[in-house]
Amino acid sequence: MGERRSVLAVLTLVLATAVSGAAPAVAATGQGDTSSLRAAARGSGVRIGTAVDMSTLADDAPYRAAVAREFDTVTAENEMKWQVVEPERGRYDWAAADRLVDFARANGQAVRGHTLVWHNQNPSWLTEDAFTPAELRRILRDHIHTEVRHFKGRIWHWDVVNEAINEDGTLRDSIWLRALGPGYIADAFRWAHEADPKAKLYLNDYNNEGVNAKSDAYYALVKRLRAEGVPVHGYGMQGHLAVQYGFPDTVAENVRRFDVLGVQTAFTEVDVRMILPADPVKVQAQAQGFSSLLQACLLARHCVSYTLWGFTDRYSWVPGWFDGEGSATPFDEELRPKPAYQALRNTFLLGRR
């Protein structure tokens, strides 16, 4: 682990060469296999992943080849969410999610399961029917048991509870909090653990990368849950950044305090968007944004995973959600790597242990 720290002095230099387009020093020395992110990440202790959209994976052969070549974990962008897997009460549809898990197995990839409890992308039968608290509790338990059991042994990490805390550190209003109270979080982790004792179970959120009111609340929550013996194993930081806002400068500090608490950490949905059109300064800033999160991960003992929320601008949720913004991933629409790709690859190469 000390080695991880010892290489960081040169990270900034390599990043500077990567974004300026000059040949990175590490590649010139011929150190290791640099042919893909996946190869570069080998030995770093951090797995590199991407979110995958299943219809895209089926229809686009170059995209499919890139997922297999560049990544060693995959996350279903939508296909494991409640709305998709249990569209009617008690009727489960695993087809798309199973295809992803099979693809991952065929390519030697681990799977991050996303997500079991969320306020979003729930089926209308769940949100529109007025269930009693006791019924809702049973529904949640059945859903978690059924989904986690279905994938038992095939999921590396589960994002058990997603986006449960507001920016000010209070618990987010949701059908779960209203009906079940704050205890729904501990229950969800216990139920997931019953169904697959080997899967690592995560809390996951956005704007929780640096030290702030939201991550402080997560820190307190994780500490309390662990003291109570609740099987919480990981803290996920989505990492949706934007060059126009700059990047949080306390990420390493934040990751480290969770490390000390004894839980794993992961960057789970990284992208770095910009106001279009792109220009060289934005592209350079973007590379720095991607690398800064990876550096924070490599600096921590238990940061085990870094996932892109889509790896190509050909398919990215960003333009559909942020008017006038885009170009948020390390590959352009033609699947050509950008400076962000080189920066990630070089940072990984330095982080090898």
Binding site for ligand 9MR (CB under 6 A): 77-78, 120-121, 238, 269, 317
Q: Which is nearer to ligand 9MR, 34 or 78 (CB)?
A: 78
Smallest gap, in angstroms, from Cβ of residue 316 to ligand 9MR? 8
Smallest gap, in angstroms, from Cβ of residue 83 to ligand 9MR? 9
Smallest gap, in angstroms, from Cβ of residue 110 to ligand 9MR? 18
Q: Which residue number has the CB closest to ligand 9MR?
A: 317
Smallest gap, in angstroms, from Cβ of residue 67 to ligand 9MR? 15
- Alpha-carbon distance of 265 to 298, in angstroms, equals 11
Residue entry with tokens 């070089």: 346
Say if CB 48 and CB 73 are below 8 A apart.
yes
With H, G, I as helix, E, B as strand and everything else as coil, classify residue 20: helix
Q: Which is nearer to ligand 9MR, 167 or 253 (CB)?
A: 167
- Of 287, 222, 282, nearest to 255 by C-alpha is 222
- Of 310, 300, 351, 291, nearest to 42 by C-alpha is 351
Q: Which is nearer to ligand 9MR, 72 or 159 (CB)?
A: 159
Smallest gap, in angstroms, from Cβ of residue 321 to ligand 9MR? 6
Q: Which is nearer to ligand 9MR, 20 or 121 (CB)?
A: 121
Q: Which is nearer to ligand 9MR, 247 or 348 (CB)?
A: 247
- Alpha-carbon distance of 156 to 211, in angstroms, equals 27
Report, as residue numbers or ranges, the catalytic residues.
163, 269
Type and span of the H or E element at 237: strand 234-237
- Alpha-carbon distance of 107 to 111, in angstroms, equals 11
DSSP 3-state helix, strand, coil percentages of the chain (rounded to 5)?
A: 45, 20, 35
How many Cα atoms occupy the beta-carbon half-sphere of 131 within 13 Å? 19
Q: Which DSSP string do the residues of 138-201 spell out, in sequence order?
A: HHHHHHHHHHHHHTTTS-SEEEEEES-B-TTSSBPP-HHHHHH-TTHHHHHHHHHHHH-TTSEE
